[in-house]
Structure 1
């Protein structure tokens, strides 16, 4: 497991330092998810969460709780996925690339498109998987978000759940129990209905097209990286 800046963590070290660079990384992560910069209060909350996790993480390492733990195993696998797609998250993207993306996926960006869905909220991926495995709260956790949106526009979904969540739901067909991430955590989403509209020019919706391009390209990079790693292993399922 690596710290925020990629350095190994010494569990015996009792001094914790959050550098300016790391704070900027927390702010950038918030902005990528929510589509805007965090307020001072929101950044303070993220910093507090990071410190809490770092303290508990080091204590867990000191006690050897990382060895043979399926939750840690799942998290490390998730970190490898993140590393595979990190370049896409920060790369500059040209209008030509986004124009081709819009032409190839017009149905994702239709004007007047509406979404009807409900969701259950989970604070992190482990809580979500525990619920899916039948070991956690299947009904989700309380949060100050609407449990359901009826006939909501893309912008309305984005304003409530953030750009990353909105970009994902805009690519979905009506389905049950889709796993979507937002700036708040994870959600099991039942998309009941979507009403398609007419696509607008790139200049009117560049931010939305870019968010969709990044999300889709990152997912493709993760799968390609996994395929390359998988080929290096011999897997026997007895």
Structure 2
């Protein structure tokens, strides 16, 4: 069951910390005070069975469950011996994997908390620009290569005349890799394809008639707009799932930073000034 979100930030962190401690204690319960004892708790067995069931869509048979337990014990024995031998030290892959597991634990706990609806609505309003739908256009375009047409403006007028007389627009322009027709294209997509600010030239064009020429990064264009959708702010209900994901990511980042700062206070960090100075000097050359 999802937990209702607590608005007090200190209460948030206290809740996350308590959950982290509880999970850690549950798994540490497999180990007795004597580090040579391996005790497979009921919680561990249920965890192993749950993993099997998610993968195979059925609970394990008794022999399969015993195999899972045996495999866990084997892994635990070899893991502890590897740690005693120091095989986990100075191994970049292991270090990064353990860091990832620490961070994923905090993220999973944040995802288990369901925020109040008003919290998400407030987040949506604070970041409304992110959830604003850009203007979109559907249009056709005829490309006129200005490098090959010294009188491109005059040529554009001639093409417009032919279009008015019913000419086929697909046969009146120059060859180009640009799309002849774009459907519900955002201004960002249009500018990526035709060059910066090309979409601004569409603002004043009439609908459903050929106009131009318009200048792009490639040459001149005659354009016929068939539909347009103005820029608009989305309703919360349209983007609630996206807002929830973004809110969770924000809270995860807060928790991870707090977690790191809290744990870091347990250590005395010493960084060689001589080494950093030498690296800085080398980089400046």
Q: TM-score range by the shorter chain?
A: 0.3 to 0.5
Instruction: Output the TM-score relative to the length of structure 2.
Output: 0.36
Instruction: Output the TM-score relative to the length of structure 1.
Output: 0.42
Higher-Rg structure is 2
